[in-house]
Amino acid sequence: MKIAMVSPYDCCHPGGVATHISYLSRELVRKGHEVKIYAPCSNRCTIVDNGVEIIPIGGTVPCPSNGSVARFTLSVWLMPQVKTILERENFDIIHLHEPLFPSLPWMVIPLSHTTNIGTFHAYYDRSVGYWFWRPVVNIFYNRLHGKIAVSESAKKFVSRYYPGDYHVVPHGVDLEHFSTAGAPLAKFDDGKLNILFVSRLEKRKGLFYLLQAYEEVKREFPQSRLIVVGSGDKLQQKYEEWVAERKLQDVVFAGYVSYDDLPRYYHTADIFCAPAIGKESFGIILLEAMAAGKPIVASDIEGYADVISRDVDGILVPPRDSPALAQALLTLIRNSDLRCKMGTQGRGKAEWYTWEAIAQRTIDCYQEAMKNRES
């Protein structure tokens, strides 16, 4: 099949949707399909070659969205370019990610004359935009021949405004990349128990609650360390100032870590912690930690609860509850057998989320949509 992957977001900035598109596309190519990725682009020089052709369409503007910053294109002047591409390429499938987001997908859907697939990634408690713009958005929604949600939470959210038949096809994980045990980072291999946080430094990722919890953990178990991996200059400075004011020892802000180096951080850790407070449709970082065989402490929120089996491969605690977070961490710190058991259970679960398996499930959705469209 000849497939177009259409992203609403800047392909030069990391994020869950961009990661999903990149790895799904690569796996589809491995299975013999022809794939091209179309996305807005803020800096062509930063595009990473993963073996799939990326065609930049339009510049980007930043906009606050879901507790983060979305970078997308708004230029309707791109319509002629989009029309030319679609007429020239004659795709069998156009796979639009966040198809109802007012960006590049809105320019592609009206001009498409082939099978359109939409993947819904987001989870919100509610959406004023979906509700208010429903009469307009229905025009785009009704042109989708197949609909995918990345989790039960994402399905529940979008179904509230646009009821329909959704297949749940989750994010995947590069199992080989994260499970291959590299040598622990020497600077952290000193006998201390390492707790790892990996995420962008945004308020919704909940790092402040983890820092508060770690203050209690450090009192109870001095031979511990908290390693924070993620970028976010303004918040990092505030967090560092808070740590300094409290004289809290052994908190390491590692900043941005490349994808190639990230597995070593997971394999250096004894416990992985994801204290996000909400608005998570899934938990890619949870899969990465599971692939590395690490026990997890995470917030009991929509999205994360779709991935973690309570008290099997991780401990779930109420969001924004630093004392509960501290007690869960201490439970694992004090019980090495439990850490090992949960890590092993998580590693087994991660095998169900390989990109090979996710790609095949996606192909099944393509074929069903094409068949239904023809009938």
> In the prediction, which pLDDT does 341 show?
98
Please give the pLDDT value at position 10. Answer: 82
Q: Strands across the sheet with 115-120, in order?
A: 53-56, 34-39, 2-6, 93-97, 115-120, 146-149, 167-168
Give the torsion through C-alpha atoms of 126, 284, 170, 176, to 10 deg: 180
Q: How far apart are CA 137 and CA 56, in angstroms?
A: 25
DSSP letter string over 141-201?
HTT-SEEEESSHHHHHHHHHHS----EE----B-HHHHHS-PPPPGGG-SSPEEEEEES--
How far out from the chain centre does Cα 332 lie?
A: 25
Longest dimension (CA), the chain: 68
Helical H segments across the chain, by residue range: 16-30, 79-89, 104-108, 128-132, 134-141, 152-161, 175-179, 207-220, 233-245, 262-268, 284-291, 322-333, 336-350, 355-374
Q: Report residue 91's pLDDT band, with 50, 70 and 90 as the boundaries.
A: very high
**Which of 38-47, 248-257, 355-364 has the weakest average pLDDT?**
38-47
Half-sphere exposure of 85 (CA within 13 A, CB side): 22
Q: Comparing 4-8, 56-60, 68-72, 89-93, which segment has the lowest mean pLDDT?
A: 68-72
Dihedral sign from CA coordinates of 182, 185, 190, 195: negative
Encoded amino acid at 165, one letter: D
**Of 264, 290, 270, nearest in space to 184 by CA:** 264
Check whether 12 has a pLDDT greater than 90.
no
64 pLDDT higher than 70: no
Q: Which two tokens stand for residue 123?
A: 């989870």
Domain positions in the chain are: 2-172+354-374, 175-352
Q: What's the pTM?
A: 0.90
The winner for highest mean pLDDT among 138-152, 174-188, 223-237 is 138-152
CA distances to 50, 100, 242, 297, 368 from 121, in Å:
22, 11, 34, 23, 21
Q: Given 3.40.50.2000, 3.30.70.3150, 3.30.70.141, 3.40.228.10, which CATH number is that of 175-352?
A: 3.40.50.2000
pLDDT at 69: 57
Is it true that 2-172+354-374 and 175-352 share their CATH fold?
yes
What pLDDT does residue 113 have? 95
When the pLDDT of each residue in the chain is averaged and rounded to a whole number, the result is 91
Average pLDDT over residues 316-342: 98
The percent of residues above 70 in pLDDT, for the chain, comes to: 93
- What's the pLDDT score for residue 169? 97
pLDDT, position 135: 84
Closest among 343, 220, 234 to 293, alpha carbons compared: 343
Residue 99 DSSP symbol? T
120-133 CB burial, b ≥16 within 10 A, e <16: bbbbbeebeebeee
Residue 127 CA from chain centroid, whole number: 20
Query: Is there a contact between 118 and 146 (Cβ–Cβ < 8 Å)?
Result: yes
What are the pLDDT digits (tens) for 249-295? 999 999 999 989 999 999 999 999 999 999 898 999 999 999 999 99
- For residue 310, pLDDT beyond 90: yes
pLDDT at 23: 94
Domain 2-172+354-374: what homologous superfamily?
Glycogen Phosphorylase B; (3.40.50.2000)
pLDDT at 44: 59
